[in-house]
Structure 1
Amino acid sequence: MWNVMIFLLITALIGSAKASICTGDFVGFVDSTTDLEYCFLFAMDKKREWYEARSFCKDQSADLAFLDDGDLHFQIIDYILAHRDWRDEGFHIGGNDADVEGQWNWVMPQQPMEMGYHWWPGQPDGGRRENFACLYTPDFFFNSCVNGQRMYTLCRV
């Protein structure tokens, strides 16, 4: 009897080790190309400008979302579309060309954004008046969004 109880306890502990590494309101997504889990926060409490959104993420020990790796972007799209009340919204993510027009970079990690694959056709556009990357309705592919536009925030640890 005790052996069975010890076995069940060990099995439960091992199973909990496989649980999500994400804490609080962060949601875990596993990149199928690396099998690594990443934690995202969909901050739906209020709409923010891009710099305010980045500051909010940093206060959460995170940064605006980086989505160029693996299939995380497509998982995020599916997650957003699964929430009917989010489908008409936009989310700030961690890319911009504020420093050099046309040179899109991620803020964390500091590297160039891939052009084409994740971007909605015709994006980025808008020149100096659209310097911040976002996921925007109805497709939630990358878009260049208007400077100062307030939308929800997507953070990533």
Structure 2
Amino acid sequence: MARRPSPHSEPASERRHGSFRLRDGAKGLVTSASKVLLVRERHADGTPFWTLPGGGVHRHEDAAEGLRRELGEELNCRARVGRPVTEFWYAHDSLDDTVSVYTVFDCSVLSEPDADQREGIFECRWVDPDALPASTLPQVRHVCQQVADLSASTAGDD
């Protein structure tokens, strides 16, 4: 995530890989009625971007637990976290020499998401995977395209 950690938050699980710190993270591929849930955050320079909800995993958590916590903090909602479906890497501009390795889980929300700006989430929106906002991160665009392709291939199975 692009926001700076709050003073009361526990550090995320990290390890070194060459000159980079790898930070463990989890993102939710939250889908409903052929739509995917995206959240709008801001880079360190204030530029907005769209991504999947989620963030860093704390040292004492597994990835699914971390994702449940992040969804509660960022979107004030409860979620069902299913199986991991993919992963992607993200080089942070707000965290020096840090790359997050996000495990992406199949998810559904159990209550209505509501963006919490205090957590760095400025908006949440259900979008068609074929019509993503222009400022969607390329890695997220790729994951959403896989969802659209899968939906198109299973639609022909009816």
Question: Is TM-score (shorter-chain normalized) higher than 0.5?
Answer: no
Tell me which structure has the larger Cα radius of gyration. 1
Structure having the larger proportion of residues in helix: 1
- TM-score, scaled to structure 2: 0.28
Structure having the larger proportion of residues in strand: 2
